[in-house]
Amino acid sequence: MLLKAGLIGAPVQFMFTEFGVVTALVHVTLPVMVIMLAAALSHIDRDYERAAASLGAGPIRVFVTVTLPLSTPGIIAGVTTAFAWTFSAFATPQLIGGGRVNMVANLVYQLGFASFNFPFAASLSVAGLVLTFAVLALMRAAAAPLEKIGPH
Amino acid sequence: MTSRPFLRAFVAPATLCALAFVAALAAVMQYSLRAYVPGSLEPGGFTLANFAALMKPLYARVFLDTVWICFLTALFTLIIGYPLAYALVHARNVALKRSSW
């Protein structure tokens, strides 16, 4: 369909590419993110938006200066969850990536059940766990200043 | 809360699960410190060789790839999910809201 419309020149290669894996993972993670963001957005008092609008702010300005800053805790929570969620993804990269896109979980599987090198697979998974904690701690530290502009 | 001892009974299943999880993780940890004996499923003595082998650039690449894919996924989920969540919360139509929530 997109080919006929002239939007793309060649069929998009989804299988066995990083792009395909990311697309599939976004598809899987989307509900979690939407639920967390919707929870955060529904807790914002609508009166703040109405007050901003009554003081002469346009819809876009209301969104950028009121709604978006008030929803930062939800954004941080959603991004962190999505990140940790994707980090443990195994089936999606295995099926879509087909061995060409390697994520930690797939490598552990290959080492454990193709080479039967259980000790090395275990050390790899421990390293993956440490890396996850490190990245999440980093994200927390990076998000700390953003947390202040949330609701007081 | 602690004054009501029957509440402990409710925590018991979760504690059991947590204990099983910790035991499994401990098994993985001790496996990661054992030597690999080719051709056998039984691990050898305790070494740190596995962690030394992790330093190869191949594995660093896989770890970086994983972090990159996770980052991209989180970013695109946020970009696609935010308007969706906004529409979900701000929908005026009550029937639409109920059906989607």
Range from A15-29, A129-143, B83-97 carrying the lowest mean pLDDT: B83-97
Q: What is the pTM of this model?
A: 0.76
Q: Tell me, what's the pLDDT at B39?
A: 66
A37-54 mean pLDDT? 85
**Which of B31, B61, B73, B88 should we substitute to test contact with A (largest number of A Cβ atoms within 10 Å)?**
B73
Full residue range of the structural domain in which residue A140 is found: 18-147
Same structural domain for residues B61 and B97? yes
Q: Tell me, what's the pLDDT at A152?
A: 47
A77 in a domain, yes or no?
Answer: yes
ipTM: 0.79
A142 in a domain, yes or no?
Answer: yes
Per-residue H/E/C for chain B: CCCCCCHHHHHHHHHHHHHHHHHHHHHHHHHHCECCCCCCCCCCCECCHHHHHCCCHHHHHHHHHHHHHHHHHHHHHHHHHHHHHHHHHHCCCHHHHHHHC
A3 in a domain, yes or no?
Answer: no
Comparing CB atoms, the residue among A78, A87, A123 nearest residue B70 is A87
B81-101 mean pLDDT? 74
Give me the number of domains chain A comprises. Answer: 1
Given a cut of 60, whether residue A85 has pLDDT beyond it is: yes
More confident residue, A16 or B94: A16
Comparing CB atoms, the residue among B41, B78, B84 nearest residue A75 is B78
Share of chain A above pLDDT 90, in %: 5
Q: Tell me, what's the pLDDT at B20?
A: 95
A152 in a domain, yes or no?
Answer: no
Domain termination site, one of B23, B39, B54 = B54
CA–CA min distance A30, chain B (Å): 6
